[in-house]
Amino acid sequence: MAGKLEGRIALVTAAGSGMGRASAELFAKEGATVAVVDLSADAAAETVAGIEAAGGDAFALTCDVADDDQLRAVFAEVESRLGVLHVLYNHAGIPGPGGMDVPLDDWRHAVDVNLRGAFYATHYGHRLLAKAEGKGSIIYTASVSGLVGSTMSPLYSMAKGGVVLLMKGVALRYAPDGIRANAICPGPTDTPMLPQFFGRAPGSTNVEEEIRALTKAMVPLGRPGLPSEIASAALFLACDDSSFVTGVALPVDGGYTAR
């Protein structure tokens, strides 16, 4: 039985760990050839090795999504190798500083990685996605903090809220080309980045204990999400199961935004 992405080409940014790695692995399992893009060459290579060991097809590319030249080079490489792109998963993001007393360079870096990188990856990927004969899908990782405010980091909420509205604009603009655009809005998810979020709270001392307590209080299902659960949502948005879904910000949050 053919996989849901059989014969398709997918590119996943920040695919060296966590949700990005889980998504790249699942896309490959479902038949896609995956361009594994990450800031860390070693992490990207580890993801590719895991995919290949499972019988999948992938190759690694190193890129800082905040660097325009590096982003452009990534899409030029995909075009040179494969000539088309069916799935662009703009997953790269960072927590950025908490609070409002944020140095300007840190502010710019958070916006460049979370928002600017997604914007220009979409721009550079458009021509390849338009060759996908109506099968093009762009996915963004936003956040529940892009749907509701974050007391710990208004900057993060601002950037991820921008990702949600970028997605909506792209969904409208690229629909005539047969390209869909949607965003996943994860709640607290069990990845290496999770302690970075909770560790920013004032007076934070025992981050692991605080994660358990805050997650139980904030998430109706009482636990963090798993990277595999985000990957399953990404697969849905990448494949034909969601062929009439575009412009949607999908919370995958254990009920966090249901309150």
Q: CB of 188 within 8 A of CB of 212?
A: no
Ramachandran region of residue 211, left (φ > 0), alpha (ψ -120 to 50) or beta?
Answer: alpha
Residue of 120, 140, 156, 174 with catalytic role: 156
Q: What is the 3-state secondary structure (H, E, C) of 49-82?
A: HHHHHCCCEEEEEECCCCCHHHHHHHHHHHHHHC
Alpha-carbon distance of 154 to 160, in angstroms, equals: 10
Per-residue b/e over 37-75, b at no fewer than 16 CB within 10 Å? bbbeeebbbbbbebbeeeebebbbbbbebbeeebbeebb
What residue spans of 82-226 are helical by DSSP H? Answer: 104-111, 117-129, 154-174, 194-198, 207-218
CA dist 175 and 149 (Å) reads 30
Residue 156 designated active-site: yes
The answer for residues whose C-beta is within 8 angstroms of residue 51's C-beta and 6 or more apart is: 24, 25, 28, 34, 36, 57, 58
Residue at 23: amino acid letter: S
d(CA 244, CA 20): 24
Q: What is the spatial distance between Cα 178 and Cα 218, in angstroms, rounded to a whole number?
A: 38
**Positions marked active-site:** 156
